[in-house]
A and B are shown apart, each in its own frame.
Chain A
Amino acid sequence: MATIEFPAEQRVDRLERQWQSKPGVLGWLTTTDHKRIGILYFWTTLVLFGIGGTEAMLMRTQLIEPNNHVLGPASYDRVFTLHGITMIFFFIIPMTTGAFGNYLVPLMIGARDMAFPRMNMLSYWVFLGSGIFLYLGLASGNGPNGAWFGFTPLTLRLFDPSRGADFYALALIFNGIASSLTSSNLIVTMFKLRAPGMSFNRLPTFCYAFLAAAFGLLFALPALSADCIYLFLDRNHGTHFFDPSKGGSNLLWQHLFWFFGHPEVYILIVPAFGIATAIIPAFTQRKIVAYPLVAIAELLVVFIGFGVWAHHMFVVGMPTISVVFFAAATAMVVIPSAIQVFSWCMSLITGMPRFRTPLLFIAGFIWMFVNGGLTGIMFVAVPFDQQVHDTYFVIAHFHYIIFGAAVFPIFGGMYYWFPKLTGKLYFERPGQICFWVIFAGTNLLFFPMYIVGLLGMPRQIYTYSSGMGWDAYNAAESAGAYLTALGIVLLFANLVVSYFKGEPAGPDPWNAPTLEWATSSPPPDFNFAVIPTVSSAYPNWDAEDRERDARKLADGVMVLEEGHEQPVSTTVDGRFAEVIEMPHSSPWPLVLGVCIALVFGALVIGHYGIAGIFGVLCLLSLFGWHWKEPQES
């Protein structure tokens, strides 16, 4: 920005005036800036990660030795249930789609905001409300205790007379609204707001991964919502969806839950693929191997994920033909997964890898993913699946995937994009040490679970007797858990210290290929002074294009500073189609979010009239929201 001449400076000033948020707390409450919303998501999910992690520590402390009594059976049930719900719905999904997706996708596609900025803010308030709602349930003695999959009949009123399962059902519907809003927003943003020239074959693989996750959420969440609606009705209004004596079926719960639940697993992991494909080119200084195949594979993983749900149900007595179909469909997931593993490995081998902290986390992720993936394939052998069903072998498998493979890239991504968010460099050596501590801790935590699972230790038991041959493994797992926790604390401590004491990073410390590195660190409110024009999938390596963009500023070409303006492109080939006015900051998302929260609050205590009143207030706030059009504000 130092070389900007007078007219260009004036243009940048105008852009700043157009795009800046209101000052102070009010600015954060009413913002529509995708970066601020991403940061809000980040901190909120981090708090929830801390809560979910504490629950994990409680479990591992309870299981560190036989016949332990840190937690009683009832508390243990609540703790493992909330651990699962929190980590899946309140950490990984909002951290990936809400924090990483919100902050990075518009920057990567050369946009100034998400397609629906106010809806974006609404999604955050709804997400926050759903998290508070769930934990208010726990605080009021109504924590859910039927595991994250909440199987009926265990969660019906007969077996759970508390309001725990009501909080569970409503919290998941509530949270699902937030995720659906975010995923719709991500899809439309990537379809319509890509910079001119960014045709679909130039969309970064990171964005393809988030597109896949968003489509997955959009089509998977309604099944969970339907299930939770039935559960709430069965528990509170005497309906019989899950009552076999009245024509209902408990397997209905499982079919709908896993129709959501298995795509969900891929929804959790696919953003990690995206983060990996963003980090690998930056630290190998080469293009990702087989870009089109990787992009297709990311979408295909989620697509195939919709046809495999019943592999969670091999022990419920389905017909053999169904079992074989779902086993075969599950085996197909290997193909897109293997394509990606080969691409990451070949990119590392044929590039010049610099194993800085982010790439170390990606290397660790590849190990975790292959490990968890190979044990996942073993479940395709149906007799094996039936043997280890509900044992710690399954726990080990999916923690290698959704902690090792899904969360390692999140940590790597935090380090990779830390300079972009803060404008500071993190401290490298402590970062690398953190990686090794977490890597060692995670393997010590989860690998013995395979063995103890094969030895027959069932999941979800609050304690065990000595003499089963499980003691040493459990002690090792708990030691691994503490080590992992220590590593994670150090990891964040390093980032905090780096924030205050780190060297200035400059706009692009990694010579990375995507557009977020083409703007200053941290990015200005308007993201790009000149909307970039794109001619490849690695736009920040196209030096001529970027120089041409810089020259456009003085001429006022593609600056669009006359209003709160955003260019819109054609969906497939990214041709510059129109310039639209974007909404400014607005109080209505907060008002609507509060009204929605009050609807759920009234529902869970059974005051339907009050819920109706707040429902009407929701509608009125929607009328208020749309009263002033973007170009009028």
Chain B
Amino acid sequence: MTDYAAPRTSRARTPVEVSRLAAQRLGLPAGWWGMLMLIASEGTLMGCFLATYWYLRIRAPHWPPDGIPEPRVVVPMTLAGVLLLTSVPMHLASRAVRAGRLAATRWFLLIALLVQTGYFAYEVDDFGNQLRSFQPARDAYASIYYTLLGADHGHVLIGMLLNVWLLLKLSTGLTMYRLNATVAIAWYWHFVNVLTVVVIGSLTSVHVV
């Protein structure tokens, strides 16, 4: 039977009210579904880049081609692992926001953002250093290597911008809109983090596979 007394969730103004109404509602918000659509689309795009990488790789006699240094493993994989760990504060932020704990939410987001910024700064510097060693126009390996890595870094940058925006929004209080955004952005970060591990894992796997 239909219940005609569903909550008017957008009206909630205080963290306590937002938290109470969020707990009352059934199912996940449309914003979360929207983020899932973005992840599906972006995931497929990155899947195509990865498929290209493996397609070219299994057909190549030497990978990487002669004259290109083999990618380093330990530092990039460790850093990808560190980035993956930011899923923990992102998840905690999404739990805290649902509990109406605004200050805790902001702290978790800030911690995640600091680590993400550190990761990104190192990777941008490293990307520049690698470009001095070999250029994307050198051969197909270099082309897909930089495309894949650059696209992954682009996703990290977008995630950081989302977190900055979220922190700005949360600095003036909590609404249902912001709660939904926090939950959705946490999911975006889980996607980016797993994606980074897969991308870096693929690019550095020449030693193993």
Identify which of B26-34, B76-84, B92-100, B193-201 touches chain A.
B26-34
Partner of B10 from the list A197, A221, A233, A630 (CB cut-off 8 Å) is A630
B33-61 to A contact mask, C-beta < 8 Å, 1/0? 11001101110110111011001100110
CB distance from A621 to the nearest CB of B (A): 13
A533 near B34 with CB under 8 A, answer no
Partner of B44 from the list A219, A565, A568, A581 (CB cut-off 8 Å) is A219
Give Cα A570 to B177, complex, Å: 18
Identify which of B104-112, B115-123, B124-132, B134-142 touches chain A.
B134-142
B2 near A223 with CB under 8 A, answer no
Give Cα A579 to B3, complex, Å: 12
Q: Is A24 interfacial (CB 8 A cutoff)? A: no
**Contact (A240, B143) CB under 8 Å given A247-B60, A626-B165:** yes
* Contacting residues of chain A (554-572) with chain B, CB-CB under 8 angstroms: 557-558, 562-563, 565, 567-571
Q: Is B7 interfacial (CB 8 A cutoff)? A: yes
Q: What is the chain B residue whose CB lies nearest that of A629?
A: B177
Write out the residue numbers on chain A whose beta carbons fall within 8 Å of the beta carbon of B140: 239-241, 243, 246-249
Give Cα A223 to B45, complex, Å: 6
Please tell me the number of chain B residues within 8 Å of chain A, measured between CB atoms.
53
Q: What is the chain A residue whose CB lies nearest that of B11?
A: A631
Classify chain A's interface size: 35 or more
A218 near B8 with CB under 8 A, answer no
Write out the residue numbers on chain B whose beta carbons fall within 8 Å of the beta carbon of A247: 56, 60, 65, 139-141
B139 near A240 with CB under 8 A, answer yes
Write out the residue numbers on chain B whose beta carbons fall within 8 Å of the beta carbon of A225: 45, 48
Q: Is B72 interfacial (CB 8 A cutoff)? A: no
B44 near A223 with CB under 8 A, answer yes
Write out the residue numbers on chain A whose beta carbons fall within 8 Å of the beta carbon of B203: none
A570 near B55 with CB under 8 A, answer no
Write out the residue numbers on chain B whose beta carbons fall within 8 Å of the beta carbon of A226: 45, 48-49, 52
Write out the residue numbers on chain A whose beta carbons fall within 8 Å of the beta carbon of B206: none
Give Cα A2 to B8, complex, Å: 30
Give Cα A571 to B176, complex, Å: 19
CB distance from A18 to the nearest CB of B (A): 13
CB distance from A236 to the nearest CB of B (A): 11
Q: Is A392 interfacial (CB 8 A cutoff)? A: no
Residue of A247, A249, A562 with highest tally of chain B CB at under 10 A: A247
Write out the residue numbers on chain A whose beta carbons fall within 8 Å of the beta carbon of B41: 180, 184, 218-219, 221-222
Main SS of chain B's interface residues? helix
* Contacting residues of chain A (491-550) with chain B, CB-CB under 8 angstroms: 533
Q: Is B6 interfacial (CB 8 A cutoff)? A: yes
B33 near A619 with CB under 8 A, answer no
**Contact (A192, B45) CB under 8 Å given A252-B55, A630-B177:** no
B60 near A577 with CB under 8 A, answer no
Q: What is the chain B residue whose CB lies nearest that of A186?
A: B37
Q: Is B19 interfacial (CB 8 A cutoff)? A: no
B34 near A115 with CB under 8 A, answer yes
Write out the residue numbers on chain A whose beta carbons fall within 8 Å of the beta carbon of B103: none
Q: Is A344 interfacial (CB 8 A cutoff)? A: no
Write out the residue numbers on chain B whose beta carbons fall within 8 Å of the beta carbon of A577: 6, 25-27
Write out the residue numbers on chain A whose beta carbons fall within 8 Å of the beta carbon of B37: 183-184, 187-188, 218
CB distance from A347 to the nearest CB of B (A): 30
B-binding residues in A (CB < 8 A): 115-116, 119, 180, 183-184, 187-188, 191-193, 196-197, 218-219, 221-223, 225-227, 229-230, 233-234, 237-241, 243, 246-249, 252, 255-256, 259, 533, 557-558, 562-563, 565, 567-571, 575-581, 619, 623, 626, 629-631
- Top 8 nearest A-B pairs (CB, nearest first) are A247-B140, A238-B137, A184-B37, A581-B10, A239-B143, A222-B45, A226-B48, A222-B44
Can you list 16 A-B pairs with a CB-CB distance of less than 8 A?
A: A184-B34, A192-B33, A222-B44, A222-B45, A222-B47, A229-B147, A237-B137, A241-B140, A241-B144, A247-B140, A575-B3, A576-B2, A578-B6, A578-B8, A580-B176, A626-B169
A-binding residues in B (CB < 8 A): 2-4, 6-11, 21, 24-30, 33-34, 37-38, 40-42, 44-45, 47-49, 51-52, 55-56, 59-60, 65, 136-144, 147, 161, 165, 169, 175-178
